[in-house]
Structure 1
Amino acid sequence: MATRRPARRRGRHRPGTSIAGDLSPLLFSNPLRLALGFALATAFAWLFLSLWRRDRAQPALGLWGAAHAVWAAAALLFAAEALLPPPLGITLGNLAVALGYGLVWAGARRFAGRPARPVAVAAGLLAWTLLTLIPGFAAQLPTRVLAISIIVVAYDCATALVFRRGMRQQRLASHFTVIFLLLAHGLTFALRGALVLPALLPQAGLPLVQAPATVAILHILSLAFTAALTVALVALSQEQAALTAHAVLAAARDAAAAASAGKSRFLARMSHELRTPLNGVLGIAEALARDPGLGPRQREQAATLERAGRHLLAIVNDALDLARVEAGRLALAPAPVRLRRLLEEALELIQPAAAAKRIRLRLDLDPGLPEGVLADSLRLRQVLLNLLGNAVESTPEHGRVLLCAAPAGPGLLRLAVEDSGPGIPEALRPRLFDEFAQGPQSEVGAGLGLAISAALARAMGGSLDHAPGPGGQGSRFALTVPLAEAAPPPAPPAAPAPELPRPLRLLVVDDARVNREVVRALLRPEGHLVEEAASGGDAIAALRRGPLPDLVLMDLNMPGMDGLEATAAIRALDGPARRVPIIALTGDAMPEAVAAGRAAGMDGHLTKPLQRALLLAELARLAPSA
């Protein structure tokens, strides 16, 4: 007789809860999955909130961090189900779940730059609360599972829609990934809800799925999609932050460019406004100093006036140079230079001031110096003259000033100026290279020389430093600049003194009467005939009327038709008038003004205040020979 197997012991079932054991994983009752969900929610909450603390300009990060914090609390409530009166733990946990997804939706709205609506945020929480008021709802597991699934799916779809609309305004690389993960996460909850439909609709004949493995897989998938969504949201926020930072930098760049353009216009205007009255002062003073009709005392007074005006001009040039360097408008023009000759010329220029105080000037050259270097000789000489001028000024009579030159490394040159003066006071040293910083022994100047020298050194890729002189006496300023060795240029032939073949007929075009009088005062003693025009239109009319002048001196900045427009109109005339040489005579010393004059058809450029020697040299260069 065959042995019967003992019947498998079956558990007792209560009415209405026959599938509760199989659906319990949907409520996070599995300790391992519950612990995993709590750990992930806590870690992600910390991540989002940390990012939000560093970047408060992205409120979405704070809302997403709060959502994960609420989900972590929900996991604790689910875990405390056995300790709370049923079904309080499940009810409060699902309330927290619904609120968390509402916060995710609110974060998406804020990310897209739209306001978060509190009613919509709490809609899922309110819906769940109202459902719990239905008699028997809280006691039925399938209804709870279906309700929370519908709430989560609705929030996932609504959040995906917010991101999809946000792409129309600002498309980011992670947008599609976020939308896909939201929909995939919603799909896992939709499948959870589908699992309980057979229990809710037994008359529909739907197959009952009681495999715990299916529920566990859906739960793990939802956790995986949540983790992936967190990473995608972080990436999305970083992409938006990068774009915002780029926009801020672009705005700052545009503002800096506008400020630089405004400063350039200001410099051009100030150059013109300052040089125009200086032209009258210096021009008339120079003419008076050469006027034989005046007595020696009057000529000496005129020469003093001219020297004071030249000093004022030097201060104006210093201020404009400093502003040009700060505006980034200083263009260097490196070319092969004979280094020794450049240093000797700097000493020659400062020699008269040193001789007046019986100061010994000395040049100390290292034998290893190259004969030729690639440098902007104008700017390098400007720095040297500033340093030498300060040294001579601060050194007492019978003192010494030394200019040293030596290699400072491969491709580096160090030029040092030492003096035997009182040195720089300790209190002044920290701001020595600031604008308007002057020592107590300075009686002239505006305190701009060292600031400009330091700025020029930086523009040349070098530096300017100060240290006490040998033995602590005097000062030592060292200029270190990168200067590549180059073949020295050939020595230029001696230039003959400019000579004019005959008295010239000149047309001076300037809206300022004083500027026209300066040219007349400088050239009339030489026998030249000077005619005047107060505007560009008057100049064109004078050329058409005749007789033609030998040269035209044209101001650039005039009301109505300016000098550039007048020059272009002259070049468009018929006959010999279109070929008359035109020299720009302007207070605008900016390089852009020189280039604009050349482009308009001008043949030369003279800057106010006008110097008689430079004017005669330019006339000799361009005057017709016949």
Structure 2
Amino acid sequence: MNLLRELVGRHRRYHQLEPQMLRYAAMVGLVAYPLFYLSRFTKSSPGYDDWPLRLAAMLACLLILFPEHWPRSLKPHFHLVAWAVPIFCLPFLFVFTSLKNGGGPVAVGNTLMAAFFIILLTDRRNMFVMLAAGFILAFGVYWASDPSPQLPMDYVARLPILLVVVAGGTLFKHGVERAAAIKVRQAYASLAGSIAHEMRNPLTQFKLSLEAFQRVLPVPTLEVERQELAAGDLNTLYEHIAQGELAVQRGLQVIAMTLDEVHDMPLNSDGFSRLLAGETCARAVQEFGYEDATHRAQVSLRVECDFFFRADETAFLFVMFNLIKNALANPGVRVQIVVDAGQIEVRDDGPGIAPEVQARLFQPFYSQGKAGGTGLGLAYCARVMGAFGGSITCSSVPGQSTCFRLTLPLVTAAERNKELTTMLAKSRALFDGRRLLVVEDNAAVRFLTRHKLASMGAVVDECSDGEQALHMLAQQRYDLIVLDLHLPAMDGYALTKRIRAGQPGIDPQLCIVAYSGEPMAVAQIKTRKATMNGFVAKPSEQCALLKALCDAMETSQARVAAQQAPSLAGRAVLLADDNAYIRKTVAASLRAEGVTVVEADNGHKVISRLATMDRCDAILLDIEMPGMDGIETAGAIRASALACRRAPILALTAHSSPSVLQEARRAGMDDLLVKPFDMAMLLEKLHALPLCGAVRARAPESNHLTGADTVNLLDIKRLDNHRRIGVLDELMVEYLPAIDRLLCDVEASAMAQDTKACSEALHSLVGMSGEAGAQALHRLARQCHDPLVEEGRWPAQADWTGALRELATQTRRALTDYAAPVEAGKD
């Protein structure tokens, strides 16, 4: 059994990169088998009538051709069937019919053709196994089924030819695979070289930041209380922390962009924002990781005619960093960046580039005379500029200068007005009727800020110092405060500290947005440390200011909601990763949240651990594990009879390509987290998983749920409001039967495979459960509804209707328990 599992696994991995190969082979079989059968009628002696075998082979090809239509319970066995079908359709069928027909040249040709297709369709080890299995099976069935079996000697005599063909084909395929492997290794070497080369800049910057930390830290002593920072050193530390954080961010962006280039993934235009060319270029010059002050002095910026363009800021900064870095690679070169009406030029007075080289500069993995360079940066620059709707060109005079010219489409006044109108509508929806406070000591800035905020529909008050702001906050409830950091007497940081400390009458969760002229990177570090909700730089145009306030308000509301969300404490999670360090780190963080963590380092242990667990609220699976990988493990879990087979599965992977995402979804995984990730992101994913904390691996033995389960299943705040306004009785009388009817409609339409009726019933169930305060049922119903509507496919989770029914039963009990005190009070 282990040998069979290994062979099927090798076959699956062989077709993983090009899954269409099996479909193409199945298409050929569907056409060839009936055509070859018809050809027998052109012969005077048709021979053995093999139509039942050919019909079976065609049905087997149909199975391979349409795996998406397999029942969900059988999909995990697809690769086993895909491994067995070629054995039946090729060596077995052709050898068996050849023996029944008494051999001959045609039989030998058919056998050679079968062997040829097997060589093409699988790896070398499976090739020998499949051919041997097919031949042995054919001879065995022939000998057992034929009343007078005879071994055709002319056919047997030509078997050495078959052996020569198999050996030659094997050697030929080995040579092709070896050549392909060499090309892959060369591509990987170029990719690794590109990542290493592009990472050198952010890592150098990070190293310099660490060295600066060491210079600023006080001289160590065992008397801890005497270790004090010198005046001004604390601010210096913040500056270097900001630089280090930027370096880490740039490094991660380099990796992500390089992988996007390799996978040919386009930039998502939804993330594009309106940028001011001069301001963005100034940020690039400021944030670039220079080796020293001399290096910095070699770069200058001149803005002749500023303009707006639409782009992804991170990707554009990468383009600028790449051009600056390439120019500074030549010692003593002066670099000038010129911004002028739709164009940005990066000029240098270096050695120049030969004309024949310029034509190849933007090709992937091409580098011009730069040690350790791979040229992937310029290829990505060209791709990024194309995604922005612009272009990048190079002109150079050898021995004198080089100029890279970025051409970008301008954002017109009409587009700017449309964007402002959209932002005004969003801000009105968010702030209409709310009250804002602007704290700014500069009267002119206060006036302009208040003028920019006047169109939001909010009441805007103002004051000029921290003490006055505290007094106003204590007298009146405010929803957001726009706070200058450099105030007289009490600065913005001190005022924030007083607010968060819970001053009498002041909401400690008040949304605070810093409004300052400090460098953005440093100010963001400081304001985040001070627990402010957002930052916007001075001066700021109206659209940018409104966007910053909207983002901060939404972040603040999300943070408050997260604090009110059910805790993960008491949950049970299975964590599987073959990397012991990652397991240890993630497990420790989860246990700090009160989560019970069971660990495994491969897929087989995952299955055995799950079989012994009393409950499992979520499964975290690394995709790349030895033996049974994460994809196989997820499929095995979903197809098993384990009590926790419906537990949500979160994939942990370093690969974010669409094929990996698609395969993970097909295997029944609920979500995916790309490494490296931080714990906040993982915890957010766990909170968002549809069944996390809602469906248990085993049903509770009692008919009544505990208080913790009730909180997880129900939206208590919504139900408290229903109770307060006196509609809880109506909810129990009308909503619960309606939910039961909708569940019956969902089950009936799912059984009839009626996607339209099922999506309509699920849509009603999503709305009804949400209104009834059944938050866990609402999340699961939405999870089932969305893929059905958006992609036209049934939910990947096995027995999803059963999961809905089970969760609805628990929800009914929870609602009954919740309403019981009200009914008792009435009696």
TM-score (norm 2): 0.31
Larger Rg: 1
- Higher relative contact order structure (alpha carbons within 8 Å, sequence separation ≥ 6): 1
